[in-house]
Amino acid sequence: MATPGANPPSPTPARIQEEANPATETVAEGHPSTTAVEQPEIHELPQEQHTSMSGGTSASRSSRNPRSQNIWPTTVQVIREVDASGRPTAPRTVIGRWSNCCGLAARENFGILHKDIGKVTEAEKERAWTAMEKWFTFPAEAKDRLKRKAFQKMGKAWKNWKSKLFTEFVNLPGNHTPFDEYPQITKAVWEEFCSLKNTQEFRESSEAHRLL
């Protein structure tokens, strides 16, 4: 029994620990159970993955595999800002996708038998633009300049693609065809393309450009 007026006993280490951590309570068999402190939820932004022709994802391959540029987005992309020239500027993540898709729209909709971009028909251009509008939204007031800039990029991409077809398929020894990589090219169109590229006139013109 405590003596009246005597100093109270000093708190034990366990008592000090309990007072310092009021959220800790003793449960059966002496095991402490700490009341969970609610933490703010962390929402991780989903990383968009594109399904490649081989069934993989371009998230791990796009940086080293140019064929990943032959794939449309899996979700609609939002363009929030467009500069005076018609180039998307925000968000930054959409700029590269827009550029790649301009090339993809050209490859899928512009015929490879046209001698130059000036021969591409209005119907082909409209099909390409319709494909772009399916996957991109943008401010309505920016449509005209965005469309004009898109056609410029499509023209450059289409010209480079035709050069690639010649270099990687026509000009190499052996019977190389692009049908697996570019299924939009039919056999009849490819045969005509090869015939055009194997004419003496084209060979001389190509050599002249190479020497410039």
* Tens digit of each residue's pLDDT (9 = 90 or more) over 145-160: 999 999 999 999 999 9
Coil, strand or helix at 191: helix
Q: List C-alpha distances in Å: 157 to 26, 139, 183, 197, 200.
A: 71, 25, 18, 19, 26
Question: Along the chain (212 residues), what's the average pLDDT of each consecutive run of 10 residues?
Answer: 49 47 41 39 35 35 49 96 97 96 97 95 98 97 98 97 93 86 95 87 59 54
* Tens digit of each residue's pLDDT (9 = 90 or more) over 108-139: 999 999 999 999 999 999 999 999 999 999 99
CA dist 102 and 107 (Å) reads: 9
pLDDT at 49: 37
- Given a contact cutoff of 8 angstroms between Cβ atoms, the answer to whether 129 and 147 are in contact is yes
Contacts with 151 (C-beta within 8 Å, 6 or more apart), sequence order: 125, 128, 129
pLDDT at 208: 54
pLDDT at 191: 94
Among positive and negative, which fits the CA dihedral 126, 129, 158, 65? Answer: negative
pLDDT at 78: 98
